[in-house]
Amino acid sequence: EALCALPFAHALRLDASDMETILTPGLQVLLALEKSVAAAGGTLFLSGASEAARDALDLAGASSLLSGAKPGA
Chain segment 2-57, per-residue pLDDT in tens: 555 556 557 888 898 888 878 889 989 988 988 888 888 888 888 888 888 888 88
Answer whether residue 1 shows pLDDT above 80: no
More confident residue, 21 or 72: 21
Please give the full DSSP string across 5-73, using - where no structure is assigned: HS--SSEEEEE-TT-----HHHHHHHHHHHHHHHHTT-EEEEES--HHHHHHHHHTT-GGGGTT--TT-
Q: What is the pLDDT of residue 72?
A: 42
User: Quick one: CA dihedral 59, 35, 20, 26, positive or negative?
Assistant: negative
